[in-house]
């Protein structure tokens, strides 16, 4: 599976068309969604890196990937798309996002839930992860991006 199989963070659930400043699907900022095809490799890499860091922060608080090779093998066997150079915690997210309703034993995938989440159903955990990822993305936008847009609007 090549690195080129996923060219954009888009997952086909864009909420920026409805006025959201952060997409509820891919968690990119509205201007990143709009300008993505015009971005160079460095700009795209910066967006991918921010998304990865935020997602890893969320995932590492919910589960442990104890066997990344097994997880990767399982993703490949099930033909679940993932970005090979990203963290195994991003791979775990892809697996849970696609298979939450059918996975019975996470250990078979090289993962184990943290004790406080072991009683959760995987669909409920998936939804909680997605909400937390969105909240972190929104907070990042409000802290680092929005002030610059406001400053530009007032000075322009």
The average pLDDT across 112-140 equals: 97
**Res. 119: pLDDT tops 60:** yes
**Res. 12: pLDDT tops 70:** yes
Q: What percent of the chain has pLDDT over 90?
A: 79
Instruction: Please report the pLDDT score of residue 14 as a whole number.
Output: 85
Three-state DSSP at 24 gives: coil
Assign 5 a pLDDT band (cuts: 50, 70, 90).
low
Q: What are phi and psi of 112, to 5 degrees?
A: -145, 140
pLDDT digits (tens, 9 = 90+) for 52-107: 999 999 999 999 999 999 999 999 999 999 999 999 999 999 999 999 999 999 99
The more confident residue out of 33 and 16 is: 33
Instruction: Please report the pLDDT score of residue 2 as a whole number.
Output: 41
**HSE-up of residue 129 (Cα within 13 Å, Cβ side):** 29
Instruction: Please report the pLDDT score of residue 137 as a whole number.
Output: 96
Instruction: Please report the pLDDT score of residue 148 as a whole number.
Output: 77
- Distance of alpha carbon 26 from alpha carbon 29, whole angstroms: 9
Instruction: Please report the pLDDT score of residue 3 as a whole number.
Output: 40
Domain ranges (residues) in the chain = 3-155
- Distance of alpha carbon 47 from alpha carbon 116, whole angstroms: 31
**Closest among 118, 129, 120 to 95, alpha carbons compared:** 129
């Amino acid at each position: 599976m090549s690195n080129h199989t996923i060219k954009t963070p888009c997952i086909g659930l864009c909420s920026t068309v409805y006025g959201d400043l952060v997409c509820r699907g891919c968690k990119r900022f509205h201007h990143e969604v709009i300008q993505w095809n015009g971005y160079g490799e460095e700009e795209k890499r910066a967006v991918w890196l921010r998304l990865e860091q935020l997602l890893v922060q969320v995932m590492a608080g919910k589960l442990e990937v104890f066997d990344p090779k097994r997880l990767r093998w399982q993703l490949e066997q099930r033909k679940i798309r993932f970005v090979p150079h990203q963290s195994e915690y991003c791979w775990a997210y892809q697996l849970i996002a696609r298979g939450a309703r059918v996975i019975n034993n996470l250990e078979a995938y090289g993962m184990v839930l943290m004790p406080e989440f072991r009683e959760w159903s995987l669909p409920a955990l998936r939804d909680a992860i997605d909400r937390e990822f969105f909240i972190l993305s929104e907070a990042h936008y409000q802290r680092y991006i929005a002030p610059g847009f406001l400053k530009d609007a007032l000075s322009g």
